[in-house]
Amino acid sequence: MAKITFVQPDGASQTVEAREGDSIMQTALAHSIDGIFAECGGAMMCATCHCYIDDDRTGSASEGEEDMLECAEDEVRGTSRLSCQITVTEGLDGLVVHLPVPVE
Ligand code: FES
């Protein structure tokens, strides 16, 4: 288990227990975290699982992930990631995931 904290654009945060082997996206859906939709189910085809993570432990986005991030509807930053592409490990305990501002 690893504790992951999701932070909404207004600063509200929720810390949840994540199962190792699940993706950050699956963790968010399992805990009904607002802002992660995952329309493609983790196939890296939608960018509706976009989030911001400023933590070296998650490595960097693959080329395919970077390409898909260009399709994200919300603001893409240097810390942008697709949450379906990050697998939870015990080493990610304490990870903080910021959610983007929803597009109107
Ligand atoms: Fe669709 Fe991550 S869930 S790209």
For residue 83, report the distance from its CA to the centre of ligand 1, in Å: 7
- The residues with which 80 forms a beta bridge, in sequence order, are 52
For residue 61, report the distance from its CA to the centre of ligand 1, in Å: 13
The sign of the dihedral angle between the CA atoms of 13, 19, 20, 26 is negative
DSSP secondary structure string for all residues of 89-100: -GGGTTEEEEPP
Best substitution site from 23, 29, 82, 99 to test ligand 1's pocket, by max atoms within 8 Å of Cβ? 82
pLDDT range class, residue 104, cuts 50, 70, 90: low
Alpha helices in 17-69 (DSSP H): 24-30, 63-69
52-94 pLDDT, tens digit per residue, is: 999 999 999 999 999 999 999 999 999 999 999 999 999 999 9
pTM of the model: 0.95
DSSP at 82: E
- In angstroms, the Cα distances linking 26 to 10, 18, 31, 33, 77 are 22, 9, 9, 10, 22
For residue 11, report the distance from its CA to the centre of ligand 1, in Å: 24
Q: Which amino acid is at 73?
A: E
Q: Which two tokens stand for residue 26?
A: 């699956």
Phi, psi of 73 (to 5 degrees): -75, -30
